[in-house]
Chain A
Amino acid sequence: MTTTYAVLSEGLEKRFGAVHAVRGLDLAVAEGTVCGVLGPNGAGKTTAVRLLTTLLRPDAGSARIAGHDLVREASAVRRRIGVTGQYASVDGDLTGRQNLRLFARLHRVRGPAERADELLDRFGLTEAADRPASTYSGGMRRRLDLAASLIRRPDVLFLDEPTTGLDPASRNRIWDAVRDLKREGTTVLLTTQYLEEADQLADDIALVDRGRVAHSGSPAQLKALIGTYAEVVVAHADALAKAAAVLDQLTGAEPSFEPERNAVGAVTGDPTLTLPRLVRELDAAGVPLLDASMRPPTLEDVFLRLTDRKEAVA
């Protein structure tokens, strides 16, 4: 079976004057999957979404969204997508209900009033339906945004940082909504700065850095890319150097220290390096070992390694 891609872009470029915001973006999102576009601030995530949702015209490159050419068939693309972001929001001067009815009308939905009520109910906004959207809390506002982009059951939903600035409860509601959508067969492309969000929701992750996709794959593949993190805790600080030397010899990777915990660790890609072997080697070298562990790297480790950043974004 061949994969059908809901989003397929090749070499998308966008400049704003001297700023080369997106430089050759290649993205492939299989139909019915959730793709997390992960990257630090300024990596070009938002520009990428604005390009893919017809809000900006690319300077070069091409893309097909739900089978339609992004530039030549922009209005067909617009019929198949939903967009929610810091920019594509709702009208604060209108009530929640008025907003959804308006968007339903603009989408040529039959029975705009019914569709609006249905979505208000689904996102728990019925009680607040007749208040101006400007009086909504951050979480309610984001749910209304999301409802507005689901008016016509889009084939592809773009969510630009859907949970930035939300409290955990509101964030979980949005996450649940995304999972529901995926279950219904909607393809979702979401950008996020939160590694946990990508890990929780995404089938595939595109790590974006400096305007292009630096790496992509499933969270497990990305983690496998950088190997396993072996960490040992020693009885006293004097033993750290000796433990580091053993780790260096076993992994060939530069150890990283956490002196306040008397811990030192290193990443290894060697499948023969197991926990018993690690412990044996350390013991043989006379390291006073208190604890040793081997854990798969977190997305944060991946992020730090693959984007060359000094620190993680979240």
Chain B
Amino acid sequence: MSALAYDGTAMLGRQLRRVRNNPALAILTQTMPITMLLFFGYVFGSALAMPGDVYRSYLVPGLLVATAANGIMTGMFQAAQDSHRGVTDRFRTLPMSRAAVPLGQASADLVVTAAGTVPFLLVGLAVGWRIEGSALQATAAVGLLLLFRFACAWVGILLGLASRSEEAAGQLGSATFMLPLLSNAYIPTDRLPGWLRTLAEWNPISAVTTALRYLFGNSPVPEGAAWPVAHPIAGSLAWCATLIAVFAPLAVRRYARGER
């Protein structure tokens, strides 16, 4: 276990150094949600039945979670890039922990995401979003958000390691932007037709978004929703635990085996 911690820290350092050496990509991916907040908040917001400032307040937690779900795309792309570049094969020939490379990637991703959340929330504050609950609850909201990002990163890492090429990973990865569309991240689900509503509410993004809205005190838990949304905190934790329990071991195994 200490070998994993040591090697994992070294790999975390590697990933962060990569970001520092080439910050453009990280800046681009981290400013994307800000752009979306302004577009959705003012362009779509003006066409919705909800008042604009209410919608923007509704949108901030939704975009936070949608961005966290992009961890799938980022994870896929980075893992595919690494495994096809050959540096991963050198790691495989080293006497190091087999889990360290994917763990380092997921942890570095978490650090970058946490840093990117700060400017996003500042813009959120500027467009009218507020923390309306307690500080403790707000901290719990951020913790939950990061846990969800961590889970998504593992999904991405497995898919990235399993993909045939960087291009394939890029294409499949960009399809993940559809995931938040079928959730309550951007719009309430209560007016969706029955089966579509069920599908959207069993989307993990919906549970985590609802939990964030509840913990930030932005809007109450909706009535009559599916279980993960009706019990958003338990639902979110259950989703994150399931995703990590399934995808992290598979990703580590896939990495250790290394055959394509």
Task: Closest A residue to B98 by CB, please name it.
Answer: A75
Per-residue 0/1 for A224-261: is the Cβ within 8 Å of any B Cβ (1 yes, 0 no)?
00000000000000000000000000000000000000
Task: Closest B residue to A14 by CB, please name it.
Answer: B259
Chain B 70-118 residues near chain A, CB threshold 8 A? 85-87, 89-96
Per-residue 0/1 for A103-120: is the Cβ within 8 Å of any B Cβ (1 yes, 0 no)?
101110000000000000
- Interface check A89, CB cutoff 8 A: yes
Partner of B85, one of A56, A92, A132: A92
Please determine whether A54 and B92 come into contact, CB atoms closer than 8 angstroms.
yes
Please determine whether A55 and B21 come into contact, CB atoms closer than 8 angstroms.
no
- Interface check B7, CB cutoff 8 A: yes
| A56-B257 Cα distance, complex, nearest whole Å | 8
Segment from A80-88, A195-203, A288-296, A297-305 that makes contact with B: A80-88
Contacts of A76 in B (CB 8 A): 95
Task: Closest B residue to A16 by CB, please name it.
Answer: B259
A178 to chain B, nearest CB (A): 19
Total count of chain A residues near the partner, CB < 8 A: 31
| A88-B89 Cα distance, complex, nearest whole Å | 5
Task: Closest A residue to B13 by CB, please name it.
Answer: A102
| A102-B95 Cα distance, complex, nearest whole Å | 13
- Interface check A91, CB cutoff 8 A: yes
Chain A 52-85 residues near chain B, CB threshold 8 A? 53-57, 75-76, 78-79, 81, 83, 85
Please determine whether B21 and A93 come into contact, CB atoms closer than 8 angstroms.
yes
| A96-B86 Cα distance, complex, nearest whole Å | 16
Partner of A106, one of B86, B89, B94: B94
A76 to chain B, nearest CB (A): 8
- Interface check A148, CB cutoff 8 A: yes
Partner of B87, one of A54, A57, A91: A91
- Interface check B191, CB cutoff 8 A: no
| A88-B88 Cα distance, complex, nearest whole Å | 7
B101 to chain A, nearest CB (A): 10
Please determine whether B90 and A148 come into contact, CB atoms closer than 8 angstroms.
yes
Chain A 105-149 residues near chain B, CB threshold 8 A? 105-107, 132, 148-149
Please determine whether B10 and A94 come into contact, CB atoms closer than 8 angstroms.
no
Please determine whether A88 and B14 come into contact, CB atoms closer than 8 angstroms.
no
- Interface check A98, CB cutoff 8 A: yes
Please determine whether A91 and B18 come into contact, CB atoms closer than 8 angstroms.
yes
Contacts of A103 in B (CB 8 A): 90, 94
Please determine whether A53 and B18 come into contact, CB atoms closer than 8 angstroms.
no
A229 to chain B, nearest CB (A): 41
Chain B 231-256 residues near chain A, CB threshold 8 A? none
Contacts of B96 in A (CB 8 A): 106
- Interface check A33, CB cutoff 8 A: no
Q: A78-B94, A93-B18, A132-B21 are in contact. Are A102 and B10 (CB under 8 A)?
A: yes
Partner of B95, one of A91, A105, A107: A107
Please determine whether A106 and B10 come into contact, CB atoms closer than 8 angstroms.
yes
| A276-B86 Cα distance, complex, nearest whole Å | 57
- Interface check A263, CB cutoff 8 A: no
Contacts of A83 in B (CB 8 A): 89-90, 93
| A77-B164 Cα distance, complex, nearest whole Å | 29
| A87-B94 Cα distance, complex, nearest whole Å | 14
Q: A56-B259, A106-B96 are in contact. Are A94 and B14 (CB under 8 A)?
A: yes
- Interface check B119, CB cutoff 8 A: no
Beyond the given pairs A87-B89, A94-B18, 16 more chain A to chain B contacts, judged by CB atoms under 8 angstroms and listed by A's residue number, are A54-B92, A54-B93, A55-B93, A75-B95, A78-B95, A83-B89, A83-B90, A83-B93, A85-B89, A89-B87, A92-B87, A94-B21, A95-B21, A98-B17, A107-B94, A132-B22
Question: What are 30 of the A-B contact pairs (CB < 8 Å)?
Answer: A55-B93, A55-B258, A56-B259, A57-B259, A75-B95, A81-B93, A83-B89, A83-B90, A85-B86, A85-B89, A87-B86, A88-B86, A88-B89, A88-B90, A89-B85, A89-B87, A89-B90, A91-B14, A91-B85, A91-B87, A93-B21, A94-B14, A94-B18, A95-B21, A106-B7, A106-B10, A106-B91, A132-B21, A132-B22, A149-B90
